Structure 1
Amino acid sequence: MKLGDGVEQAIHSVLLLCGLSPTGLLSAAAIADFHGVSTSYLLKHLQPLAAAGILQSVPGPKGGYRLGRAPDDISLLDIVLAVEGPEPAFRCAEIRQRGPAPLEARFFKTPCAINVAMLKAEQAYRAELAKVSVADLLNGIDPETGEAIATRTCAFFKDHERNRHKE
């Protein structure tokens, strides 16, 4: 299975926003700049994250994005479903019923064994993603890497974080 680049960008964007002050915001352009990605492409993923309540979008020239929920309350599955949609990766098109000499309809009353296996794998994949929260990812960083990330993000936030003192 291949997930789009937007999933990686979305997860990293959510992790970045975890470091903001409680009233802080980052513009989509700043988030894109931090990750070295296209702002217009990133926006296509930030918007569904906001629609799902994972992020909060504050409109206006001084607006931006911040977390919409606590890191403990955001799973990797939440992010993947917001970006990729809820449909399973495999969608059976029942091609076994096509061709020059298809079997009679009575042979297709039970689900296709391929579809059953693929959906079972999808359920396992989703269950694993649901077990991992954004907080788990943050807590799983080794101290040396965590320090390097903190240094980088603190310097970036100093120049790019927008504070909202009145809600």
Structure 2
Amino acid sequence: MRLEITQRADLAVRALVVLHRAPTRLKSVDLAAALGTTAGFVPQVMGPLVREGWVRSVPGPTGGYEPVRDIDALNVLDVVEAVDGPTDSGRCVVADRPCAATEPCALHVAWGRARRELVTSLKTMSVGALAVTT
């Protein structure tokens, strides 16, 4: 597991907050401006959110993105994993190999503890809670 999230995952979480606050659906260009990114990058960020059914993409001149799911019901871990994939790849943090209790690396125990704490924190934090703090 990595202890970082990608720019896409960060933008996805922030996009959910922006859409939640918006009075109407937002076009890619407006969402991009609110997120500080390019309109061309927005579909890459929003695609996983649309596939999960959390956001609707409405085509056409009056279209744009609109929230479908209440952000209080979404946790940050689910959003990160929807965009970046599973956080636990089973790969060792020390070397590019599987790491398990039967063949642990030097950091196996500490890394496992840190991973559990991080996953718990992200899983118990709703996207809605971020909307209150930002």
**Class of the TM-score when normalised by the shorter of the 2 chains:** 0.7 to 0.9
For the residues of structure 1 that align with 2:79 and 2:101, how far apart are their CA atoms? Answer: 35
Structure showing greater radius of gyration is: 1
Aligned position for 1:44: 44
The structure with more helix, counted as a fraction of residues: 1
For the residues of structure 1 that align with 2:125 and 2:13, how far apart are their CA atoms? Answer: 12
For the residues of structure 1 that align with 2:33 and 2:132, how far apart are their CA atoms? Answer: 25
Native 8 Å contact 1:50 1:68 kept in 2: no
SS, match of residue 65 in structure 2: strand
Aligned position for 1:19: 21
1:37-84 CA-to-partner distances (Å, cap 9, x unmatched) read: 112223211101111222222233322111121121011112211111
Native 8 Å contact 1:17 1:66 kept in 2: yes
For the residues of structure 1 that align with 2:20 and 2:101, how far apart are their CA atoms? Answer: 49
Matched pairs, number: 128
Letter in 1 for 2:97: E
Which of 71, 88, 97 does residue 94 from structure 1 map onto? 97
Q: CA deviation at 1:30?
A: 1.4
1:59-118 CA-to-partner distances (Å, cap 9, x unmatched) read: 33322111121121011112211111114266134389xxxxxxxxxxx98142444543
Aligned position for 1:163: none
In structure 2, do the counterparts of structure 1 residues 15 and 46 end up closer, same or farther at CA, with 3 Å as the change threshold? same
SS, match of residue 40 in structure 1: coil
Aligned position for 1:133: 126
5+ unaligned residues in a row in structure 2: which ranges? Answer: none
5+ unaligned residues in a row in structure 1: which ranges? Answer: 97-107, 142-167
Aligned position for 2:4: 2
Within-5 A mapping of 1:112-151: 112-113=104-105, 114-115=107-108, 117-141=110-134
Native 8 Å contact 1:89 1:122 kept in 2: no
Native 8 Å contact 2:56 2:66 kept in 1: yes
Percent same amino acid at aligned positions? 27
1:119-151 CA-to-partner distances (Å, cap 9, x unmatched) read: 44222211101111122122335xxxxxxxxxx
Native 8 Å contact 2:90 2:98 kept in 1: no
TM-score, normalising length from structure 2? 0.77
For the residues of structure 2 that align with 1:109 and 1:77, how far apart are their CA atoms? Answer: 25
